[in-house]
Structure 1
Amino acid sequence: MAILADIHGNSATLKAVLNNIDNDTEHIYCLGDLVGIGHETDEVLEILSSRNDVSCIIGNHDQAIIKIIHGEEPDSYGEEREHHQWIASRLNEKYVPFLSNLPLKIEKKICNKHFLFVHYHLNDNQTFQSIDRRPTLEKLDECYRKQSIHIICFGHHHKIHHFKSNKRLYLNPGSLGCNHNPVAPYCTIHVNDSNQLSITFNEVPYDNRQFLLAYEKLNVPAKDFILNVFHVININN
């Protein structure tokens, strides 16, 4: 299986990874934030919704945009809310049911291993926790101590995580669509006949020039912040 996280409306990087994934990959899991930040919303949703070998869950940006479409108050504010409103206004309505019906999490038993696929760790009220910028194995084990899960796959924090205790394995493949370099990271998991896991972190190079130039061309709200923080580009220089 392949694990993707945080595509963030970047279809160029998504296409690069899908072209790179081996034909023997049985299933792909996308860990939320399919849209938002990037401007290629419809392109990303067309790719994901047209495939039957992909399972997607909802992320916080997806939630905000769907709330706006349904006339509800999103959790975002300021320039981020303006960006979400812009994304929502451009979203082709045919993708609204797909985005609206994304589950908060997927639990699945694969080769006697209990997997959890989630955008980020959930509070007791089933909302996303604040990002822990300094995660540790001890804190992760404490978070899931009441759950009989062997492998937790998550995103949201755009950095790669690979933690393993004698209780659980925690994996974050890194952000597919928001990267300081023109590479698309993802993770593959193979389970052999003895139920042993083989985990590989991959990076696929791709041409991101047209994607980045379009922020200025489209006058994307919050473009300066997005380019500076997520792609380390100062368009004023």
Structure 2
Amino acid sequence: MYAVISDIHGNLEALEAVLGDMPGDLERIYCLGDVIGYGASPNECCDLIREREILTISGNHDLAIADESSDISWFNPVAAAAVLWGREQLTEENRKFLLGLPRMMQSADALFVHGSIRDPDEYIMDHTTAEENLALLKSEYPGVPLCFFGHTHVKSIAPRPPHPANGSGALDLSENGPYLINPGSVGQPRDGDTFASYVTVEGLTVTYRFVQYDIERSQARIRAAGLPDMLAARLAVGR
């Protein structure tokens, strides 16, 4: 069994809660990127990822902060302000760590990307984009049944699983694959849920797990750091 997390975004309280929730028999943990950005604990989150030896790929915010030569003109003003703040905070050790991460990863039975299979910065937000990436998964990674992606901060699976989740949140993905699976965001959900989410995977059974964390403490850190207040306020509404 393994776990997949994504989009921590410097939210230490959420990351600690998720790691504390994980089953004790996990063999490994994968992270789909954006360890930092938005939240007020970039170094603490990087340190924890490194200490736990979590297998991690890079996200767009990781690279924007770690590589000071990167163009951030396409970021919205709030995101750009968080990037500039993050550049001032990030230690050299964590900068090198983030710059050394791969942009995608593959195991024996799964592919791990940040945005999409064809572009690490692409958002899979609609049926057409999902179908195009599923076609690419089938053609370029034949026999790989699962592809995990993040970036959108929204829990989703494509195509629709034939067997709906039972009370445990477990999904049987052994039929009608391959599948694209977004585990949702650890540190900044945007689907109306305020809890941190991640998935555990055993064979072709994927289970969503939902974790409450100390939102007020995370908000207080953001405000104390002088980051845009929106980044704190949105945590309470999951948007």
Sort the TM-score into its range (normalised by shorter chain).
0.7 to 0.9
What's the counterpart of residue 157 of structure 1?
152
Q: Which residue of 1 aligns with 2:165?
A: none
Contact 1:64 1:76 in 2 (8 A): no
Deviations 1:143-176 (A, max 9, x none): 4342123210111111111224734021111011
- 2:114–2:120 contact (8 Å) kept in structure 1: no
Give per-residue Cα distances to partners, 1:38-71, cap 9 Å, x unaligned.
111011011011123x100000111111221xx3
Residue 211 (str. 1) matches residue 218 (str. 2): yes
Q: What residue number does 1:194 align with? A: none
Asked if the contact 2:218–2:232 (Cα under 8 Å) also holds between the matched residues in 1, the reply is: no
Residue number in structure 1 paired with 2:114: 119
Gaps of 5+ in 1: 192-196
> Across the two proteins, how many residue pairs are aligned to each other?
217
Shift of 1:20: 1.1
Tell me how far 1:216 sits from its aligned partner.
2.1
TM-score if structure 2 supplies the norm length? 0.82
Aligned 1:45-84 pairs, distance under 5 A: 45-52=46-53, 54-68=54-68, 71-74=69-72, 76=75, 78-84=77-83
Q: Which residue of 1 aligns with 2:125?
A: 133
Is 1:13 aligned with 2:18? no
On the 8 A contact 1:13/1:206 being kept in 2, the answer is yes
Question: What's the TM-score, normalizing by structure 1?
Answer: 0.82
User: Per-residue deviation at 1:208?
Assistant: 1.5
3-state SS of 2:127 partner: coil
Q: Is the 2:6–2:186 Cα contact (8 Å) retained in structure 1? A: yes
Cα distance, 1:184 vs. partner? Answer: 1.4
Residue 168 (structure 2) aligns with = none
3-state DSSP of counterpart to 1:188: strand
1:176 pairs with one of 147, 172, 186: 186
Q: Mark the CA change 1:139 to 1:82 in structure 2 (over 3 Å): closer, same or farther.
A: same
Q: Residue 120 of structure 1: CA displacement?
A: 1.3
User: Is residue 9–residue 41 contact of structure 1 (8 Å, CA) maintained in 2?
Assistant: yes
Judge conservation of contact 2:138–2:178 (CA < 8 Å) in 1: no
Residue 203 of structure 1 aligns with an amino acid whose one-letter code is F
Residue ranges of structure 2 left out of the alignment (5+ in a row) = 160-174
Structural mapping, 1:28-43, within 5 Å:
28-43=29-44
Residue of structure 2 in register with 1:146 after alignment:
139
Shift, 1:19, TM fit: 1.0
Aligned-partner Cα distance in 1 for 2:214–2:234: 19
What SS class does the counterpart of residue 95 from structure 1 fall into? Answer: helix
- Residue 122 and residue 140 in structure 1: after superposition, are their counterparts in 2 closer, same or farther (change >3 A)? closer
Q: Note closer, same or farther for the CA distance 1:7–1:121 as it changes in structure 2 (3 Å cut).
A: same
Q: Name 1:105's counterpart in structure 2.
A: 104
Q: Partners in 1 of 2:232 and 2:36 — Cα distance? A: 16
Give the distance between the partners of 1:217 and 1:227, measured in 2 at CA.
Answer: 10
CA deviation profile, 1:187-209 (whole Å, cap 9, x unmatched): 00012xxxxx2211010112211
Q: Work out whether residues 219 and 235 of structure 2, in 8 Å CA contact, stay in contact via their aligned partners in 1.
A: no
Confirm or deny that 1:232 pairs with 2:237: yes
In the alignment, is the contact (CA less than 8 A) between 1:151 and 1:169 conserved in 2? Answer: yes
**Identity over the aligned pairs, expressed in percent?**
28
Instruction: Supply the RMSD in Å over aligned alpha carbons.
Output: 2.3
3-state SS of 1:98 partner = helix
